[in-house]
Amino acid sequence: QEAPAKPNVIILATGGTIAGAGASAANSATYTAAKVGIDQLIAGVPELSQLANVRGEQVMQIASESITNDNLLQLGRRVAELADSKDVDGIVITHGTDTLEETAYFLDLVEKTDKPIVVVGSMRPGTAMSADGMLNLYNAVAVAGSKEARGKGVLVTMNDEIQSGRDVSKMMNIKTEAFKSPWGPLGMVVEGKSYWFRLPAKRHTMDSEFDIKNIKSLPNVGIAYSYGNVDDTAYKALAQSGAKAIIHVGTGNGSVSSRVVPTLQALRKDGVQIIRSSHVNAGGFVLRNAEQPDDKNDWVVAHDLNPQKARILAMVALTKTQDSKELQRIFWEY
Ligand SMILES: NC(=O)C[C@H](N)C(=O)O
Residue with the smallest CA separation from ligand 1 atom 3 is: 96
| Nearest-atom index, ligand 1, CA of 178 | 1
Cα 91 from chain centre: 15
Model pLDDT, residue 283: 79
Whole-model pTM over 0.95: yes
- Ligand 1 pocket test: which of 14, 17, 93 has the largest number of ligand atoms within 8 Å of its C-beta? 17
Render each residue's pLDDT in the chain as its tens digit; 334 residues: 777 899 999 999 999 999 999 999 999 999 999 999 999 999 999 999 999 999 999 999 999 999 999 999 999 999 999 999 999 999 999 999 999 999 999 999 999 999 999 999 999 999 999 999 999 999 999 999 999 999 999 999 999 999 999 999 999 999 999 999 999 999 999 999 999 999 999 999 999 999 999 999 999 999 999 999 999 999 999 999 999 999 999 999 999 999 999 999 999 999 999 999 999 977 789 999 998 999 999 999 999 999 999 999 999 999 999 999 999 999 999 9
Nearest CA among 289, 227, 297 for reference residue 262: 297
Please state, in angstroms and as integers, the Cα–Cα distance from residue 174 to each residue in 98, 120, 137, 178, 242, following that order.
12, 17, 19, 7, 35
Residue with the smallest CA separation from ligand 1 atom 7 is: 96
Instruction: Compute the Cα dihedral for 275, 280, 282, 286 and give only its sign.
Output: negative
Nearest CA among 134, 109, 116 for reference residue 124: 134
Model pLDDT, residue 128: 96
**In sequence order, what DSSP letters do the residues of 204-256 get, joined into one string?**
-GGG-S--GGG------EEEEE--TT--SHHHHHHHHTT-SEEEEEEBTTTB-
CA distance 164 to 305: 13
| Angle of CA points 176, 179, 180, to nearest 5° | 135
Largest pairwise CA distance in the chain: 74
CA distance 180 to 167: 8
CA distance 67 to 284: 25
157 is in an annotated binding site: no
Output DSSP code: residue 18. G
| Nearest-atom index, ligand 1, CA of 20 | 3
Q: Which of 17, 113, 157, 205 is catalytic?
A: 17
DSSP H/E element including 151: none
Q: Do the interacting molecules here have an ipTM over 0.95?
A: yes
Q: How remote is the CA of residue 323 from the centroid of ligand 1, in Å?
A: 36
Q: Does 97 qualify as catalytic in the annotation?
A: yes
Please state, in angstroms and as integers, the Cα–Cα distance from residue 185 to each residue in 110, 123, 189, following that order.
22, 18, 11
98 is in an annotated binding site: yes
| Nearest-atom index, ligand 1, CA of 34 | 9
Model pLDDT, residue 207: 98
CA distance 140 to 190: 11
Model pLDDT, residue 152: 98
Q: Give the binding-site residues of ligand 1, using a 6 Å CB cut-off.
A: 16-17, 33, 63-65, 96-98, 121, 123
Q: Which of 97, 113, 205, 251 is catalytic?
A: 97
DSSP three-state, residue 148: helix
CA distance 249 to 256: 9
Q: Does 17 qualify as catalytic in the annotation?
A: yes
89 is in an annotated binding site: no
